[in-house]
Amino acid sequence: MTIIRLGYVAMSNYVQNASPSQTMTFKQFDMIADREAAIRKLERISINNLHNTLRILRHNVASDVYFYRMTSRLIPLANHEELQDWNYMKPLKEKLKEIGDYVKEHQIRVDFHPDHFVLLNSTKKEVLKNSVMTLKMHYLLLKGMGINPEHRCVMHVGGKYKETERSLERFIDNWMVVPSAIQKMIMLENDDTSFTLDDTLFLCEKLSVPLVFDYHHHIVHHQNENWEENWERIVKTWAHSPLPIKMHISSPKSTDKIRHHADYIDLEMFFRFLKEINGTVPQIDCMIEAKQKDAALVKLIKQVQERDDIQMINGSSFRLL
């Protein structure tokens, strides 16, 4: 009887005027004549993003949701080459601690998923350097919250560059330049166009990194259609993690746009997966990647509650029978 805990990504459909991803472009920054004033504005935006993150977390707890992916866009321009002298952590110290204290008090699992431009297998040294800098920012934010960064940051393998095997080897080579503390933060996910479950498992087993299984991605892009044959290997990649195994769940938007995420989750598609893994792990945390964010979670839970093969635990968790 496996416990299923649901979470969602970044934005809430129910908390008004609470975007945690407000931004400023460098062009806008550069148009402000007084550089110090421009930096203060960046800091105000960042603090407001963190304030809205805390508002969403409070809404989540009130709604019995204890799994949440924070946006990677909390701090605009944090790694911009023209702002390398900006110590963005100093003005955020109080807000980060407030978030961390709340997360720990309510035992919320939080993590990040950096944008697609974070490529550890890039052929370009500058891209690799910027990718490590971006990962370092995530590490510092988690440390600032007082949260153990281990396995809190999921990312894709990167670019295929028309050579799957060489691209995988390059990831391993470049992994050696990533600081060990940041290595421990990373989880890898199979994607929908470049690196299959088999490819990603190869890296995860080689580098002792947990694999976040994306069921939707596997359906549209695989070498071996039967993911069940690899499930035990997936579970083993989590053997040394302090966190429960994690997966991503989404549904195709349509038959024509099969790679695109739908607004909501296809209940039957989800339970086809759950029936296969029931009893193989004590708990699995399922991150919903749907356009309607927490509204998709609410709709899914309402559908789940109508089933006779589950036992509800709280507003976002249930036990498979």
CATH number of the domain residue 161 falls in: 3.20.20.150
**Structurally, how many domains does the chain consist of?**
1
pLDDT tens for 282-302 read: 999 999 999 999 999 999 999
Structure token pair of residue 71: 């946006």
The answer for 232, left when phi > 0, alpha when psi is -120 to 50, beta otherwise, is alpha
- Rounded to two decimals, the pTM is 0.97
Task: Identify whether the C-beta of residue 135 lies closer than 8 Å to the C-beta of residue 186.
Answer: yes
Structure token pair of residue 210: 């947990």
- Residue 152 has what pLDDT? 98
Of 15-19, 114-118, 179-183, the one with minimum mean pLDDT is 114-118
Structure token pair of residue 255: 């038959």
Structure token pair of residue 195: 């690196």
Specify the residue for token string 């799994």. Answer: 67
Helix (H, G, I), strand (E, B) or coil at 258: coil
56 vs 12: CA distance, rounded Å: 7
Q: How many CB atoms lie within 10 A of CB 199?
A: 23
For β-strands 153-156 and 186-189, DSSP reports them as parallel
C-alpha 274, offset from chain centre: 20
Residue-number span of the structural domain to which 198 is assigned: 3-320
